Structure 1
Amino acid sequence: MYRAVVLDVHSRRVVGWSIDSGQTAALATNALGMAISNRSPLPAGTVIHSDHGVQFTSWSFTKRAKESGLLPSMGSIGDRYDNAMIESFWGRVQTELLDRRRWRTRIELANALFEYLEMFHNRRRRHTALARSRRSSTNSTNSSTPRSLQ
């Protein structure tokens, strides 16, 4: 099962996510669509940063990003430090959720991911980059300052 998330770099909140059976354009585009819905309207100049995975270089993902006023950005090929924030995020998800048990169905996994992302990560997890505050207290969806999503 493949997963995609969109993180708000400022608040460290997961603003969009999706799961699918493959690394498809739909996987990334669905996560982006959720992020756009959750953060609408997005300030002009908001950057959407990704790696060079086929799902992020797809026509549908790029089209959706541009139609929403996002500025697509891609890092260097093979440079894990370029996407350190998302790599760190997935490391925590792997350790705290995915390595702890096996799910029998995709629905069970989707429910576990929902609970982890929406109930734990976005509401209770504290982050050193946010002065140990909770993400829910740093929600600034009405800001007109250009943002970055990853």
Structure 2
Amino acid sequence: MKGLTRGQVAKATNMNIETIRYYERRGLISDPPRNNVGYRMYPQEVIQDIELIKRAQDLGFMLEEIKDLLAASKGDKEFHSQEMLGFASGKIKEMEKKIRDLNEMKLLKLKAVIRQKRYNYKPHTPNHVAENILNRAFQEEYKPMEVLLTDVTELPYGNNSKAYLSAILDYGVQKIIAFKLSHHNNNALVRDTFSQIENQLIPNKTLIHSDRGFQYTSHFFREYISRNDVIHSMSRVGKCIDNGPMESFWGILKSEMPQLEAYDTFEELNDALQSYIEFYNMERVPLSMGLRIPA
């Protein structure tokens, strides 16, 4: 049986094997047959498909749109440039409308209460980076422990003091499954957070999506990913929307958790976080659920 092994496809497309596996599970490329010694053998055309997927992701296409692109591209050599241009044009029009809406909000002096100021962090040189495999496929339905989103934010307390909160959101069940508050924003904070769920991870299936913060590009986190044989996905540079639901949780927490600045001590803040996250997981009713109560 002629064809390419998964390793050869990864090398030819400059992708890692974890990304190709994820494309298969999401139905972007077909799971190929095996040869007589058990290796999956991909047709040569898969390289063109992966290049199309990468270009579509760079333009911000969602998962279902990419599937439509792939389906329409079969047998049409001119499709790649013409159809990509058409889709991109539609995306640009959507973005222009959003910009107009934001400008109108500024003129009317309207402000979204739930959105908080973004903090400026010092740039760093990453040790390890990953593709944006998740690609904002937030409209999909996921099983528990299939897609995990994570991030770190800072919270004020006392007299100009700051604490750092690391959390993991299981997108399939819409619950915070691990969190840790610390005096320091460092690798130990993320390590202690992820140690809480290590025995729940599903090898070759769990996808962890993060931004490109120094903890997630570090040697220690890469070793964690490899040791547990899970998939790492990263947001594009400067694109916090790629981790939208996690950013949304921070906004909800900071607007609903009463009087963040009123906590005098680290311990008071930590106790309040414990109570709020328990409420968020067990009692809070998101708008997307209507009047249904979380299980």
Alpha-carbon displacement from aligned partner over 1:2-37 (angstroms, at most 9, x marks no partner): 111100011110011111122211111211122335
1:23 equivalent among 168, 177, 185 = 185
What residue ranges of structure 2 are gaps of 5+ in the alignment? 1-162
TM-score, normalized by length of structure 1?
0.78
Q: Distance in 1 between matches of 2:165 and 2:258?
A: 11
Shift of 1:113: 0.7
Match of 1:81 in 2: 241
Where relative contact order (Cα < 8 A, 6+ residues apart) is larger, the structure is 1
- % identical aligned pairs: 27
Alpha-carbon displacement from aligned partner over 1:34-63 (angstroms, at most 9, x marks no partner): 2335xx253631100000111221222222
Judged with a 3 Å threshold, the aligned counterparts in structure 2 of structure 1 residues 67 and 129 are, in CA distance, closer, same or farther, namely farther
Match of 1:71 in 2: 231
Q: Distance in 1 between matches of 2:287 and 2:252?
A: 14
Alpha-carbon RMSD across the aligned residues, in angstroms, is: 2.0
Q: Distance in 1 between matches of 2:164 and 2:237?
A: 20
SS of residue in 1 equivalent to 2:197: helix
Q: Which runs of 4+ in 1 moved over 3 A?
A: 98-101, 128-135
- Give the letter for the 2:219 counterpart: W
Which range is displaced more, 5-14 or 93-102? 93-102
What residue ranges of structure 1 are gaps of 5+ in the alignment? 138-150
Whether the 8 Å CA contact 2:203–2:228 is kept in 1: the answer is: no
Shift of 1:101: 4.2
Larger radius of gyration: 2
TM-score, normalized by length of structure 2?
0.42
SS of residue in 2 equivalent to 1:7: strand
Q: Distance in 2 between matches of 1:99 and 1:81?
A: 27
